[in-house]
Amino acid sequence: MPQHFTPVPNSLEAYWMPFTPNRRFKANPRMVDRAEGMHYFTPEGRPILDATSGLWCVNAGHNRPRIIEAIQKQAAQLGYATTFNLGHPLAFEFASRVADLLPGDLDHVFFTNSGSEAVDTALKIALAYQRARGKGTKTRLIGRERGYHGVGFGGISVGGIVKNRMYFGSLLTGVDHLPHTHDPARNAFTRGQPEHGAELADELERIVTLHDASNIAAVIVEPVAGSTGVLVPPKGYLQRLRAICDKHDILLIFDEVITGFGRLGSAFGAEHFGVQPDIVTMAKGITNAAVPMGAVGVRKGIYEAMMDGADAAIELFHGYTYSGHPLACAAGLATFDTYRDEGLFERAAHLAPTFEAAVHSLRDASHVIDIRNIGLVAGIELAPRPGEAGERAQEAFRACFDRGLLVRVTADIIALSPSLIIEEGQIDEIVGTLREVLTQIA
Ligand SMILES: Cc1ncc(COP(=O)(O)O)c(C=O)c1O
């Protein structure tokens, strides 16, 4: 056997793990090697109740047979075909299904392989569209503090999580940020949407005054900011953003990578909040995470403006080798069938009040300083240990895993986003384990 194919003993060394303290993890690894429904299983066979649906992505639960079969069948029939200048039926079929699910006239769909790529694609479409309709000075992009839009240069430029930006140079130019909406002094322990803070959308007026509307292409926000620790939009906030964008002819992009596919009890956050964006980014739940995929949905008028040039020309110089990958499309179609046939979005809506009551029962648990929730997502914020920000939540995370529960933590916030198939008893189990852990840790 040639040297480079020599089997090596299984070692943790070579793999540089993403968003992970590698040295700490490798000194004390936590592994899973199987999953089913609401559970992961460790290599020793210990079940771990997954309160994060993977990474906010297996909305229909783990390893659903219908999705597995669709992928297997497609792999045997057509494992890959480019969609540059060539077509395969599933890409068109799946784009139609996504367009059907999207609200209003979000009728056209561009496929990517991840949320980060969807965000960068959406920003590029916004810029190209402004230029195509003769408004080429509209180049500025407006994001929001504490926003997470993936890890591409576009996404971290409009994003607002400091650590994700500070190591990576000057980022995109011409970007500005709205303030975040977190206001614990007025809104702590709110159930659902906070009462206070709609006026924070008016900061967009200030930004428009500063740069002039003729220079601004688009505003991008997550309808609910997820990765920063679950910030639910104040009542009226998104409506106000929409109105200001309309007034100044600015595109509104909703990054629905987390809020899409039933997380809030509707297909998309746009529908849940009754606000129509011009562009939507999505990923994760689009294929139940069984095959990587992202997508961008655009309104009819944007697509049509881009189709207005010379007939033979490529309208958008953008795309990925794996755009519309056949396995992802097969997984996506089976995922959508699962969501529909099992009524999972309705199920999430139905369970939301039970979930809300359960998570808010932790209000008096040790260290808890705020609880936020909407749909099947919640953030439980702990007081940080003096001089050791994030350590308390990290310890809670490890203690939960030891007790058979997977949660997600960012800073000192525990985020819960279970699959939409969760049973009420499992909601009780999550909350019971969390209470126990919070009592025990210092
Ligand atoms: C709102 C939002 N946008 C973009 C992304 C990036 O997605 P991906 O990790 O698939 O690149 C995420 C991931 O969590 C997200 O939550």
pLDDT value of residue 4:
65
- CATH number at 276 reads 3.40.640.10
- Together in a domain, 147 and 220: yes
The continuous run of DSSP H or E covering 373 comes out as: strand 368-374
Query: CA nearest 152: which of 166, 172, 138?
Result: 172
437 lines ligand 1 (CB under 6 A): no
**Pocket-testing residue among 121, 161, 257, 279, ligand 1, by greatest number of atoms within 8 A of Cβ:** 257
| Distance of alpha carbon 312 from alpha carbon 381, whole angstroms | 55
Ligand 1, closest atom to CA 147? Answer: 1
Ligand 1, closest atom to CA 56? Answer: 14
| Distance of alpha carbon 205 from alpha carbon 245, whole angstroms | 9
| Mean pLDDT estimate for the chain | 97
pLDDT (tens digit per residue) in 411-431: 999 999 999 999 999 999 999
257 lines ligand 1 (CB under 6 A): yes
- Together in a domain, 402 and 390: yes
pLDDT value of residue 2:
62
**Which residue numbers in the chain have pLDDT < 70?**
1-9
Distances in Å between the Cα of 239 and the Cα atoms of 140, 181, 218, 274, 349 are 21, 14, 16, 8, 21
121 lines ligand 1 (CB under 6 A): no
- Together in a domain, 165 and 45: no
Q: pLDDT over 90 for what percent of the chain? A: 97
263 lines ligand 1 (CB under 6 A): no
pLDDT value of residue 1:
54
Q: Phi/psi class of residue 97: alpha, beta or left (left: φ > 0; alpha: ψ in -120 to 50)? A: alpha
pLDDT value of residue 30:
95
- Together in a domain, 90 and 234: yes
Amino acid 24 reads: R
- Together in a domain, 337 and 361: no
State which of 341, 368, 394 marks the end of a domain.
341
pLDDT value of residue 225:
98
- Together in a domain, 184 and 289: yes
pLDDT value of residue 76:
98
pLDDT value of residue 312:
82
State which of 316, 341, 366 marks the end of a domain.
341
159 lines ligand 1 (CB under 6 A): no
258 lines ligand 1 (CB under 6 A): yes
| Distance of alpha carbon 233 from alpha carbon 222, whole angstroms | 9
| CA-based torsion, 8, 9, 14, 16: positive or negative | positive
- Together in a domain, 234 and 348: no
Residues with Cβ < 8 Å from 298, sequence gap 6 or more?
106, 107, 108, 109, 110, 125, 278, 279
SS3 277: coil
- Together in a domain, 224 and 305: yes
SS3 241: helix
256 lines ligand 1 (CB under 6 A): no
Asked whether 375 and 263 are in contact (CB, 8 A), the reply is: yes
pLDDT value of residue 6:
65
d(CA 253, ligand 1 centre) in Å: 14
pLDDT (tens digit per residue) in 119-159: 999 999 999 999 999 999 999 999 999 999 999 999 999 99
pLDDT value of residue 10:
78
**Pocket-testing residue among 149, 220, 254, ligand 1, by greatest number of atoms within 8 A of Cβ:** 149
d(CA 303, ligand 1 centre) in Å: 24
356 lines ligand 1 (CB under 6 A): no
- CATH number at 12 reads 3.90.1150.10
| Residue owning the nearest CA to atom 7 of ligand 1 | 115
Asked whether 393 and 380 are in contact (CB, 8 A), the reply is: no
pLDDT value of residue 310:
82
d(CA 177, ligand 1 centre) in Å: 18
Ligand 1, closest atom to CA 292? Answer: 10
pLDDT (tens digit per residue) in 265-284: 999 999 999 999 999 999 99
For 103, the domain range is 67-341
Ligand 1, closest atom to CA 283? Answer: 10
pLDDT (tens digit per residue) in 167-189: 999 999 999 999 999 999 999 99
- Together in a domain, 279 and 364: no
Ligand 1, closest atom to CA 55? Answer: 14
What total of structural domains would you count in the chain?
2
Ligand 1, closest atom to CA 226? Answer: 16
- Together in a domain, 319 and 353: no
- Together in a domain, 332 and 349: no
Residue 372 C-beta-side C-alpha neighbours within 13 Å: 26
- Together in a domain, 37 and 113: no
pLDDT value of residue 3:
60
| Residue owning the nearest CA to atom 5 of ligand 1 | 150
d(CA 16, ligand 1 centre) in Å: 19
| Residue owning the nearest CA to atom 3 of ligand 1 | 149
Asked whether 430 and 51 are in contact (CB, 8 A), the reply is: yes
Asked whether 175 and 142 are in contact (CB, 8 A), the reply is: yes
State which of 341, 368, 398 marks the end of a domain.
341
